[in-house]
Structure 1
Amino acid sequence: SIRWDNGLINKTRFDFIVPSLVAIILSAIMTFVWFEIGTKNSNIFINDLTYYLICFLQTMPGFYIAALAAISTINSTTMDQPMAGDPPKEKYVEYNPYKVFWIEMNRRRFLARLFSYLTFISIVLFCFLLIIRFSYSLEIKVSSLYVVYMVYFFSCVVVIFSLVQLIMMTFLSLYYLGERVHKN
């Protein structure tokens, strides 16, 4: 429900296009490596990479929730002012009578939405990785090798897309909290 267009860098590119391109390219490389090498350790969902990623992801929601609580309770008039430049706009709906408005976001609302989404995606990615890792531990036999590689590719795309989004948005939140809030 947020719209932001700032020329070359816009919300769609930042949230979806860049993570999608990175996810597809890296997933293709990892699927090719697993297909060519063919050892058990070349599958990222079986080796220690996902174990360490799961350990990392289980701690992140706590930090995001703490940041969300700090943003929500901080007593600062600058947090309630509209963002500088061309601020993102948020969809606002009135139901009686039905009207749709796009209102400019303030810093508090922007950061609250950002940390809420980061919390959500880290929890979902954590659960998805647990399910995938458990599924691989079952050692289910599939007759078609192409099905195995397609499921692996799809799983890699979902994990890498979510991880790239998580990293990019975390860096955005760090930049905004560390730099932009104090400049305006």
Structure 2
Amino acid sequence: MDVLVKLTAPLKYLLIDHKQKKYVDYILPIFFSLLMCVLFFFLPEQIVIFRNNGLIESLSNFIQVLAGFYIAALAAIATFPNKNIDNVTDGYPLKLNNEELTRRQFLCYMFGYLAFLGFSLVLLGKVAISLEPNITLLLNNLSDEIKLALKVFFLFLYFIAFNSLILTTLYGLYYLTEKIHERKTEFTSELGESSTKNNDIEDF
């Protein structure tokens, strides 16, 4: 079990507590996934999902490109020379297991999670495409309505993960582009007390 905990360490990103973060992690991915499934259900012609050149394969090829970016970003963040990145956040704190995280720790968890999720989605997509003939045979005895419901359910779960990947990527880019370069905190003592720190700020 200890090995599994280590192998799934990037998923700790989801346990990081913050008021705004839950929207990027859960609320928005679920909302957009529901929207996509509704659109899929009412399309006049069904989209090819599992077969070659289908939806899953196209998205998997796109995610493969992103996966390399995540690994490079993670390596860069771990050694990024910026005085703000090793400070805790100025607003509502980012916490994991009741311990405040620095911005560097937060970004490492974020891009580690993105790399893990990217690899998982690519693997899931390749396996689904490879097993498509067998899945079709297993579902032959089911009605068309049940087959459609199963497809929509699979897409719902898949798009939750995919939307989480995209939204978290966009937030990571925003954070690297803007947040870590802000100069909100001015230290006024050796203990690191700040004259401008405002604990009521919700952003991080």
User: What is the TM-score normalised by the length of structure 1?
Assistant: 0.81
Q: Does 1:127 align with 2:127?
A: no
Q: How does 1:94-173 map to 2 (within 5 A)?
A: 102-138=98-134, 139-140=136-137, 141-144=139-142, 145-173=144-172
- Structure 1 position 131, deviation (Å): 1.9
SS at match of 2:92: coil
Give the superposed CA RMSD: 1.9
- Structure 1 position 85, deviation (Å): 1.4
- Structure 1 position 130, deviation (Å): 1.3
Alpha-carbon distance in 1 for matches of 2:45, 2:79:
52
Map of 2:23 onto structure 1: 13
Report the residue type matching 1:73 in the other structure.
T
After superposition, the C-alpha distances for 1:29-48 in whole angstroms (9 at most, x for unaligned) are 21333xx535xxx2333344
SS at match of 2:140: coil
Report the residue type matching 2:148 in the other structure.
Y
SS at match of 1:37: coil
Alpha-carbon distance in 2 for matches of 1:125, 1:165:
11
Q: Show structure 2 runs of 5+ residues with no match.
A: 1-14, 184-204
Q: Say whether the 8 Å CA contact 2:50–2:129 is kept in structure 1.
A: yes
- CA distance 1:57–1:137, change in 2 (3 Å): farther
Map of 2:40 onto structure 1: 30
After superposition, the C-alpha distances for 1:1-28 in whole angstroms (9 at most, x for unaligned) are 21101xxxx2222211111121122113
- Residue identity over aligned pairs, in percent, reads 29
Map of 2:64 onto structure 1: 58
Higher strand share: 1
Map of 1:43 onto structure 2: 48
Q: Say whether the 8 Å CA contact 1:31–1:152 is kept in structure 2.
A: no
Q: Show structure 1 runs of 5+ residues with no match.
A: 92-101
Alpha-carbon distance in 1 for matches of 2:50, 2:37:
12
SS at match of 2:178: helix
Alpha-carbon distance in 2 for matches of 1:37, 1:117:
35
Higher helix share: 1
Alpha-carbon distance in 1 for matches of 2:131, 2:42:
21
Alpha-carbon distance in 2 for matches of 1:52, 1:21:
22
* Number of equivalenced pairs: 165
Q: Say whether the 8 Å CA contact 2:16–2:95 is kept in structure 1.
A: yes
Report the residue type matching 1:178 in the other structure.
T
- Structure 1 position 137, deviation (Å): 4.0
Map of 1:76 onto structure 2: 82
Alpha-carbon distance in 2 for matches of 1:137, 1:182:
51
Alpha-carbon distance in 2 for matches of 1:13, 1:181:
21
Q: Does 1:2 align with 2:16?
A: yes
User: What is the TM-score normalised by the length of structure 2?
Assistant: 0.73
